[in-house]
């Protein structure tokens, strides 16, 4: 039995992200099964990790001692929900490892953690905030002007946006999904209901939804605060038939899953890869080309921690992406269509059920929602 003096310390998901963001060295002992670790784990430029499944510790420390770091090293033990890591951490401390912690809530808490970052002030006086979800590589946004706010591509754990807005004295008036998501359960409708906001979705993506919404259409403008057209809607099909991008105050482009910093959106998740691939090319090679190279592209996903820039957010100038993003530099249409329809990464975990949930056709229990979202996002042509 571990004494009170040897109580295992807990690190929150926020603590872990702070360590990664500051490039603090962190050794992680992941005790999940090998397949779970291979599919998805905590990564970062200063992270060292090792997978030794929980069951290998059932006979004690001795059989695996040769696999473990020196006893004076700090170790963070990670599992799916925390229970197994607590067991292993107790064994480590009893065996002489003094600097041991567990990830509170396990990988489920890592999957759900959201971290707000100020991106930029806007020419009209507003501001844009990015909410990083490092465990899923998801990005959502809050656009504010005066005392009004718009939330874009909200995560399921929507209370974060309510708390953030309340702390600043802002009121969430509109909630937008840039498209019908397939890799995570949208919190958009729930957030809109919670704060009495309008919920917006492209009608092309909403033909089978079981709820009401405001139609998000090409060329539409939305007022925020006292600026009547702070947000302009640009139809950018390809990832889905209804995918929309949002130009914010002629300064930022919220690109949804159409364009990422290091890749482009995949067109196959709705089962229309060939036709949507052609739409995707038009959106990227024609529509976006006309928008202006100085726009700051703010996507809905990222693949690696290295995409987070020195200011703490994920984004890049559109002109720079046309120079550096391989997906924007495929001269032949046939070659492009082959790239976006063949040899794609594995599809997102439970993506069909996630789509149905986001349509309002499934109503999973909270634990089921968490399980559906476990794993990385896979919305890009390249990981």
Kindly report the CATH number assigned to the domain that includes residue 24.
3.40.250.10
pLDDT band at 3 (very low <50, low <70, confident <90, very high): very low
Q: Strands 138-145, 148-152: parallel, antiparallel or unpaired by DSSP? A: antiparallel
Regarding whether 161 and 86 lie in a shared domain, the answer is no
> What's the pTM?
0.95
pLDDT at 383 over 60: no
Structure tokens, 261? 């910093």
Report yes or no on 383 lying in a domain. Answer: no
Residue pair 335/355 in contact by the 8 Å Cβ criterion: no
Separation CA 322–CA 350 (nearest Å): 33
Could you say which of 63, 87, 109 is where a domain stops? Answer: 109
Could you say which of 61, 85, 109 is where a domain stops? Answer: 109
Report the pLDDT averaged over residues 58-79.
Answer: 90
Give how many domains the chain has, as a whole number.
2
Regarding whether 181 and 47 lie in a shared domain, the answer is no
Domain with 119 in it: what CATH number?
3.60.15.10
pLDDT band at 65 (very low <50, low <70, confident <90, very high): confident
Report yes or no on 59 lying in a domain. Answer: yes
Answer positive or negative: Cα dihedral of 298, 299, 301, 307. negative
Regarding whether 241 and 216 lie in a shared domain, the answer is yes
Q: What is the pLDDT of residue 374?
A: 87
Report yes or no on 381 lying in a domain. Answer: no
Regarding whether 174 and 92 lie in a shared domain, the answer is no
Report yes or no on 382 lying in a domain. Answer: no
Regarding whether 154 and 66 lie in a shared domain, the answer is no
Q: What is the pLDDT of residue 348?
A: 84
**Element (DSSP H or E) covering residue 366:** helix 366-373
Mean per-residue pLDDT of the chain = 94
Report yes or no on 241 lying in a domain. Answer: yes
pLDDT band at 2 (very low <50, low <70, confident <90, very high): very low
Residues that are catalytic? 79
Regarding whether 126 and 87 lie in a shared domain, the answer is no
Q: What is the pLDDT of residue 254?
A: 98
Q: What is the pLDDT of residues 185-197, one digit of tens each?
A: 999 999 999 999 9
Which residue segment(s) compose the domain that 26 sits in? 4-109
Separation CA 234–CA 247 (nearest Å): 7
The residues with which 102 forms a beta bridge, in sequence order, are 10, 77
Q: What is the pLDDT of residues 318-365, one digit of tens each?
A: 999 999 999 999 999 999 999 999 988 888 889 999 999 999 999 999
Could you say which of 43, 74, 109 is where a domain stops? Answer: 109
Regarding whether 180 and 96 lie in a shared domain, the answer is no
Which positions ≥6 away from 41 have C-beta within 8 Å? 28, 30, 49, 51
Separation CA 171–CA 198 (nearest Å): 12
Report yes or no on 296 lying in a domain. Answer: yes
Regarding whether 201 and 160 lie in a shared domain, the answer is yes
Q: What is the pLDDT of residue 157?
A: 96
Structure tokens, 166? 């309340």
Regarding whether 224 and 102 lie in a shared domain, the answer is no
Report yes or no on 378 lying in a domain. Answer: no
pLDDT band at 312 (very low <50, low <70, confident <90, very high): very high
pLDDT band at 6 (very low <50, low <70, confident <90, very high): low
Q: CA 110 → CA 27, 82, 137, 298, 377, distances in Å?
A: 16, 11, 11, 22, 14
Give the Cβ contact number of residue 225 at 10 Å: 20
Regarding whether 123 and 78 lie in a shared domain, the answer is no
| Percentage with pLDDT > 90 across the chain | 87
pLDDT at 63 over 50: yes
Report the pLDDT averaged over residues 112-128.
Answer: 97
- Between 5 and 305, whose confidence is greater? 305
Regarding whether 56 and 120 lie in a shared domain, the answer is no
Report the pLDDT averaged over residues 232-243.
Answer: 97
Regarding whether 229 and 85 lie in a shared domain, the answer is no
Report the pLDDT averaged over residues 88-95.
Answer: 94
Separation CA 285–CA 290 (nearest Å): 9
Report yes or no on 380 lying in a domain. Answer: no
């Amino acid at each position: 039995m571990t004494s009170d003096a040897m109580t295992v310390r807990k690190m929150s998901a926020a603590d872990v992200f702070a360590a990664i963001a500051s490039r603090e060295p962190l050794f992680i002992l992941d005790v999940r099964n090998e397949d779970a670790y291979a599919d998805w784990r905590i990564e970062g430029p200063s992270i060292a990790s090792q997978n030794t499944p929980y069951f290998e510790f059932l006979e004690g420390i001795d059989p695996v001692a040769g696999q473990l770091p020196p006893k004076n090293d700090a170790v963070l033990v990670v599992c799916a929900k925390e229970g197994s890591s607590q067991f292993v951490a107790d064994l480590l401390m009893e065996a002489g490892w003094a600097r041991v912690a567990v990830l509170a809530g396990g990988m489920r808490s890592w999957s759900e953690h959201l971290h707000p970052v100020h991106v930029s002030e806007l020419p009209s006086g507003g501001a844009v905030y990015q909410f990083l979800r490092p465990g899923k590589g998801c990005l959502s946004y809050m656009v504010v002007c005066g005392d009004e706010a718009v939330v874009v591509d909200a995560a399921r754990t929507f209370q974060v946006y309510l708390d953030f807005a309340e702390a600043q004295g802002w009121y969430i008036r509109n909630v937008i999904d840039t498209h019908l998501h397939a890799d995570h359960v949208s919190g958009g409708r729930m957030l809109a209901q919670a704060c009495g906001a309008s919920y917006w979705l492209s009608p092309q993506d909403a033909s089978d939804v079981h709820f009401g919404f405001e139609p998000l259409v090409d060329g539409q403008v939305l007022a925020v605060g006292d600026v009547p057209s702070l947000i302009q809607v640009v139809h950018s099909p390809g990832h889905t038939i209804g995918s929309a991008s949002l130009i914010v105050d002629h300064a930022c482009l919220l690109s949804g899953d159409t364009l990422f910093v290091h890749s482009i959106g995949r067109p196959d998740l709705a089962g229309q890869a060939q036709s949507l691939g052609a739409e995707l090319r038009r959106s990227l090679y024609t529509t976006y080309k006309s928008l202006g190279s100085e726009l700051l592209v703010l996507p809905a996903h990222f693949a690696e921690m290295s995409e987070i820039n020195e200011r703490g957010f994920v984004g890049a100038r559109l002109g720079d992406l046309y120079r550096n993003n391989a997906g924007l530099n495929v001269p032949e249409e046939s070659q492009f269509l082959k790239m976006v329809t063949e040899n794609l990464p594995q599809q997102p975990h439970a993506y069909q059920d996630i789509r149905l949930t986001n349509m309002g056709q499934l109503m999973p229990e909270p634990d089921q929602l968490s399980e559906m979202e476990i794993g990385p996002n896979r919305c890009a042509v390249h990981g």
